[in-house]
Amino acid sequence: MAHHLLVCEKPSAARKIAYALGGRGVGRIGRGVPFYRFQKGADIITVVSALGHLYSPVQQGKGWSFPVFNLVWKPAAGGRAKRFLEEIARLAKEADSFISACDYDTEGSLIAFMILRNACGGADANARRMKFSSLTRDELLRAYENASELDMPVINAGKARHEIDWIFGVNVSRAIMDAYSCNTGSFEVLSAGRVQSPTLDALCRREDEIDLHVPDPYWAAGAEIRFLSSGEAAEAEYSKNPILRKGEGEALRLRCDGSPGTVRHVEEGELTIPAPHPFDLGELQSEAYRVFGLQPWRTQKVAEGLYLEGLISYPRTSSQQLPPSIGFRGILTKLGTNEAYKESVSGILNYADSGRGLWPRQGKKSDPAHPAIHPTGIKPNRLGADARKVYDLIVKRFISTFGPPARKSLRSIEVELEQGDVFTIEAEAVSDPGWMKHYAPYVKISSSRLPEAKEGEAARAENVWVEERFTDPPPRFNQSSLIKFMERNGLGTKSTRAEIIGTLYRRGYISGSNIHVTELGRGVIEMLRKRFPDLVSIGLTRDLEERMAGIEEGREEYSAVLIRGAEAIKGAFECMISEFEAAGAEVTSLVDGLRDQGKIGACPSCKNGELRVIRSRKTGKRFVGCSNYGAGCSFSAPLPQRGTIKPSGETCRACGYPTMLVIGGWTKPWRVCLNPECPARVRR
């Protein structure tokens, strides 16, 4: 009798996998670290979970220095993580066969590999890999029966990414903080990273474009055209918009207002709009932001929860394609048992059975590990508000991909006035909604009415208007458009982009839903451009991303890519070390200038100290403390760890303590009272 140990990524996934493979015979054992055991045929199977990454790269040896390249993978230090590792190690001694059942991507493969190699005593040498894209019973059974050898190229790609990011992030962050510390004798948490820094640099460049934009004036003209035969009127645009000179616009208004004219041309056409392709993660994040205002990190978290419930396929995918192997008709039939989708599913199946076939429209992007995001057909029980929204969006997008094209009727009327000026009326109407009716309300089926007119018909221009306008600066990034920019430029991965943006918010480098770069963010980038130009280079980051993808695809060697990353940063540090004092003075000037701007006010405890925002050297968390701490004042107040903190300049009405404004991209600014015992400590 063989004893197999299955290592899963999260406790909820372990439970799902255990009951899918073992059915009613599963026994749940343990409390603090639960695991599952059952018999399958002649074999005993134990399913145990990790807590995400239980191992991470750290410096080999002690000391705080840079540059440092000697890293080693160590177990997580937290008490709960330690208990999980101890239990996994104990269970490993009872097993003679090991299977990685973590999410099938670079992170999941790496999580299982580190556990198998370290906690399980080198079990990676003979372990197997389950490969699945959803947590449905049928797919998990197939994945178990067809488990193959470990996906070492994927594992090595994950290792390389973590190690290169560690080399970049730890070294540059230490260099900046050491330069500041040596210059001032104090400590300030500042960070930089291989992907974080070029992303922030791109935001700064957009900020510069906006600041340097000089609006150019132009004029737009239009009129109300009345058709004399019917008496109907419609809004029309001047055919030569934009007008670049003010005098021309005013002259147009004077000569055209009330002028007679003739319908010169009537044109009718039709526009065919194909069905949308299925979601990849980036597209889901963008669409959820557009229709619900959900931030990308939130959409990703909600989608991962839906996946763990078995309701959708694995969301961290770059694919926009659905293979027939997922069973199109079976999923649609299951969705049709839900009253909310019954009518749409019936329409799609009737369309398919009429001879058109049941084929989704495929996108261009593919993913070797997973298909596009799609529902599994399992009916949800109780979902939270955001989960209901994201699930409904995914289901309706999936259904609509099978739909017929939508069609719009287009009509335009050109009216030439007696002076020769031409005005154009345009309108469109949805003649056949096709797939759109299945994707409502996330697509608008709107129409505009166009009056009937014939060529040669008499008309008249009324209420001619001329409006001065100005050219717009480039738009600010929001989190959705920033993720698209990062994807286009090879910054980060589908799994990490939202997290990187969150880090920029937490560090206080950016703020607002329409992203503004803070003075701190701009100062850090200016220093990096001067001292570490390679670190803000999109080209270098893209090159390393492509090389790491090459490891996964078998085109690149893990060691060669790691050496390339180390060499890229080595030259930058030689420059930094030679100008260490100058860099320290530069960082000190930046931080102290911002600190002076951020003084909160007098300490309400000792009365003569100054309240300031401080970061803990040990934890990196920020709080409010008194400048007289060394002289015995112990006043402190906790602060939210996300968002930009600014003094409000006002005191709390309830207790008289100073208050702070918290500004972030996820909510409106809100005020925090610094009195921990204030009954109105947090108020909107």
3-state secondary structure 86-130: HHHHHHHHHCCEEEECCCCCHHHHHHHHHHHHHHCCCHHHCCEEC
> Could you tell me how far CA 367 lies from the centroid of its own chain?
18
Tokens of 276: 């949308």
- Cα separation, 107 vs 497, in Å, equals 14
Largest CA distance in the chain: 97
CB neighbours of 577 closer than 8 A, spacing ≥ 6?
Answer: none
Burial environment of residue 244 by CB neighbours within 10 A (0 to 12, 13 to 18, 19 or more): exposed
Three-state SS string across 256-294, please? HCCCEEEEEEEEEEEEEECCCCCECHHHHHHHHHHHHCC
Decide if 314 is catalytic. Answer: yes
Omega of the bond prior to 441 within 30 degrees of 0, cis? yes
Give the pairing type, strands 260-273 and 97-100: unpaired
Minimal CA–CA distance to 269: which of 403, 448, 429, 446? 429
Instruction: Provide the 3-class DSSP secondary structure of residue 310.
Output: coil
Amino acid at site 640:
P
Which among 104, 180, 307, 314 is annotated as catalytic?
A: 314
Give the number of other Cβ atoms within 10 Å of residue 384's Cβ.
Answer: 10
CA dist 557 to 124, 300, 430, 549, 554, Å?
20, 31, 54, 11, 8
Decide if 387 contacts 306 (C-beta within 8 A).
yes
What is the DSSP code string of 131-172? --SS--HHHHHHHHHT-EE--HHHHHHHHHHHHHHHHHHHHH
435 CB-contact burial (10 Å; exposed 0-12 / middle 13-18 / buried 19+): buried
By annotation, the residues acting in catalysis are: 314
